[in-house]
Amino acid sequence: MNDDPTRQARQQMVERQLRARAISDERVLAAMGRVPRHLFVPESYRHEAYDDHPLPIGRGQTISQPYMVALMTQALGLRGGERVLEIGTGSGYQAAILAELAAEVISLERLPELAEQARQHLRLVGADNVEVQVADGTRGWPARSPYQGIVVTAGAPAPPRPLLEQLAPQGRLVVPVGDRFTQILEIHTRTGPRGYQVRRDTACRFVDLVGEHGWPET
């Protein structure tokens, strides 16, 4: 693996884009250093795979900036035994990072072509603890609930109620909330049957979360 030229690019990404910006969870940093991000982006963008920005993945969707993936993952506070739900599979990259850090990942994508492509990417990197389903993720995936962590990788007008309800005790929902142009990353922790605590982190910009408890389709 020492002659893998992408390894150095990944290590640089980890040091300059993540560690330098207060990503401090060593498990997250190690996972970001392992998962071959270039295998999740279209051929034509492969040379930019480790750059400090999001990239198009087709159907008007994007793979998030590495820093945003790390920040959202760190906010979940995973230790290794969790079942995690992701809304917005996209390329499958965020799911592959989660797969390194939790026991089980269920990832929901509304666009069937993207879901199929993501399954191929995940197979290629051997992430066999991820299950990708085509569904409106704003409804969550009750069959496998509760989840110790839920991450929404699209921008929501408000935290979707079903997702809050599918959190385990002390579970965390990480979700960008705002209008269609800019959002604030919110972290909701379930403190009781009806109790939640919310922390607001950084401003961010995601593509729309489209669905019953998200934005209407335009």
Task: State the DSSP code for 119.
Answer: H
In angstroms, what is the minimal distance from the CB of 133 to ligand SAH?
A: 9
- Using CA atoms, how far apart are residues 174 and 75, in angstroms rounded to an integer? 7
Nearest approach in angstroms of CB 173 to ligand SAH is 14
137 counts as binding ligand SAH under rule CB under 6 A: yes
Annotated active-site residue in 64, 91, 107, 145: 64
Of the candidates 2, 68, 4, the residue with the CA atom closest to the CA atom of residue 32: 68
User: Considering beta carbons, is residue 93 or 147 the nearer one to ligand SAH?
Assistant: 93
Coil vs helix vs strand at 158: coil
Of the pair 27, 205, the CB lying nearest ligand SAH is at: 205
Contact criterion met (CB below 8 Å) for 83 and 144: yes
Amino acid of residue 79: R
For residues 99 and 18, what is the distance between their CA atoms, to the nearest angstrom? 19
Q: Does 105 bind ligand SAH (CB under 6 A)?
A: no
Task: Answer yes or no: 64 catalytic.
Answer: yes
| Alpha carbons 99 and 129: distance in angstroms, whole number | 6
155 near ligand SAH, judged by CB under 6 A: no
Counting residues that bind ligand SAH (by CB under 6 A) gives: 25
Residues lying near ligand SAH in the complex (CB under 6 A) are found at 61-64, 87-88, 90-91, 93-94, 108-111, 114, 136-138, 153-154, 207, 209-211, 214
